[in-house]
Amino acid sequence: MLYNKIIANYVNSMIDIYALQISYFNLYSEYSSVYLNVLLDESKKGIDKSLYERWISQIDIKLDEELRTDNFISTLSNFLLSLSRVIKDSKYYGLDKLIEEVISFNLTKYILDNSIFIPNRYDNKQNVTSYKIVGKINNIELINFIDEDRKTNNNTKPVLLVYAQINRFNIMDLTPEKSVVKNLMSHGLDVYLLKWDDLAYYNSNSTIEDYIELINEAIKLISSKTSIDKIPIIGYCWGGTLSLIFSSLFPKDVLSLTLVASPIDFSKDNSLLSLWSKSLEFDKIINELGHMKGTLLDIAFILRNPPRHLFDKYYKLSQKGDDPKFVELFFAVEKWLNNTPDIPGPFHKKFINSLYKENCLVKGNLILFNNDLVNLEKINFPVMTVTAVNDELVSFESTEAVLDHVKGSVKQIQIPGGHVGLCIGRKAHDKVWPEVANWIKINYDNSNLTTNIKSSHLNQEIDRSILL
């Protein structure tokens, strides 16, 4: 009977994989017609774009339309659910090879066999800046980065960096030239970070409240170590969303808040990722596994645009193969991108259902802990938003909507580019992060004035910059 169940799940997964492949094969047939249309479109001749660039951008449009349809979303949802059942079987019945066989079809094989392109995919120690562990909170390390260029850390200003729970922290410290951590330190900030990559390993039942409590304990430790009462926070992506929630619950402990590409008003997030988050049956997957499998998120990320992820970026790599800095950054990003950690089930459920689906954060009905209502109007200290015009994961309108809900002054910075570009892009490192650091230092200098910030939205200070 047990054997029959395993075989049935395996067969069902094969059927769902086939259905997903059919959906993409139907799209592949469009690629040739798109190419011909681009080739024969006389109106576009002579524009400053190659034939390839015009073709791939038209593919982006076609894909975005199809991947938003109910039919495709249903197919993808069935595929991920079937795959989760096979993962469950392989875990409990020792069929380790089964999972590899099931997900080694033409798209997902890329993920498992990244060693072809990326050495040591599972080596998570890829950050470049030395750090020391200054505390442990329920097995989660609070680390303090060491500025080896500075002889003493006296008179530096601490800041807590909060990254997305669905990623590893390496994106904040990827290469010596593209390190957000180093950039902030070079401008006089003392950077702390909670390494919660593997929280699901220690406690797969962790909730949003557990993450908030981790931030709370980290702030207390930093304050105790530095004798500074209010600590500025920088939150990236989902890390910014959690930082905003924390700040509304513990506003007296926060000096300022920087939200980098963080979803806030989920009704204004029109990205494909947002649509899938609202539509895919993640609860069923978590019910099967007890947590959200990082491998499944890797797969879903690639399926957002296979031509870009499986071909285009390697084409671009071939064009810049003689640039060692580009190659180093390329492989560092790939290594980070395809190594998503498992996510605790209760946390993922709450984040998706209460935030993405119900938009409770800005509606004012998000309740945590012992009936504590998350009230964003309690945030009466300076807030900065940092967004990218072409962010493919979080619409910039979603982040900037925080202006409508907080009482503190708001500074907005926006640049061209995408989501990850805010961490690794040249403009981000030349202009954005120095601006963020200087703004935080100004808030330190003016901290005795923060209580005088006007609470009326009509009088709210707004400073908007678009860095081109």
Instruction: Provide DSSP, 73-127.
Output: HHHHHHHHHHHHHHHHHHHHS--HHHHHHHT-STTTHHHHTGGGTSTTTT-----
Q: How confident is the model at residue 104 (pLDDT cuts 50, 70, 90)?
A: very low
Q: Is residue 280 located within the same domain as residue 366?
A: no
pLDDT by residue (tens digit) across 247-285? 999 999 999 999 999 999 999 999 999 999 999 999 999
- State the pLDDT at residue 187: 93
Counted domains in the chain? 2
pLDDT by residue (tens digit) across 135-184? 999 889 999 999 877 655 555 799 999 999 988 999 999 998 999 999 99
pTM of the predicted model, to two decimals?
0.84
Residues shown for the chain: 468
Reported as type and span, the H/E element at residue 132 is strand 131-137
Q: How many whole angstroms separate alpha carbon 440 and alpha carbon 450?
A: 12
Q: How many whole angstroms separate alpha carbon 231 and alpha carbon 223?
A: 7
Worst-scoring range by mean pLDDT, 8-22, 138-152, 375-389, 424-438? Answer: 8-22
Q: Is residue 138 located within the same domain as residue 65?
A: no
H-assigned helices in 293-350: 294-303, 306-307, 313-319, 324-337, 345-350
Does residue 233 lie in a domain region? yes
Single-letter amino acid code for the residue at 45: K
Q: How many whole angstroms separate alpha carbon 267 and alpha carbon 362?
A: 9
Q: Is residue 292 located within the same domain as residue 266?
A: no
Does residue 351 lie in a domain region? yes
Q: Is residue 355 located within the same domain as residue 384?
A: yes
Q: Is residue 61 located within the same domain as residue 146?
A: no
Q: Is residue 366 located within the same domain as residue 453?
A: yes
Rounded-to-10 torsion of CA 229, 368, 137, 379: -20
Does residue 126 lie in a domain region? no
Residue 121 predicted with pLDDT over 50:
no
Q: Is residue 143 located within the same domain as residue 262?
A: yes
CATH code at position 402: 3.40.50.1820
Q: Is 449 in contact with 462 (CB distance < 8 Å)?
A: no
- State the pLDDT at residue 339: 82
Q: How many whole angstroms separate alpha carbon 199 and alpha carbon 205?
A: 9
Residue 347 predicted with pLDDT over 80:
yes
238: its two tokens? 């989902």
Residue 342 predicted with pLDDT over 50:
yes
Does residue 121 lie in a domain region? no
Does residue 125 lie in a domain region? no
Q: Is residue 313 located within the same domain as residue 349?
A: no
Q: Is residue 283 located within the same domain as residue 398?
A: no
Does residue 157 lie in a domain region? yes
Of residues 258 and 125, more confidently modeled: 258
Q: Is residue 263 located within the same domain as residue 280?
A: no
pLDDT mean over 9-18: 52
Residue 317 predicted with pLDDT over 60:
yes
Q: Is residue 262 located within the same domain as residue 301?
A: no
What secondary structure letter does DSSP report for 162? E
Does residue 111 lie in a domain region? yes
Residues spanned by the domain of 9: 2-116+272-332
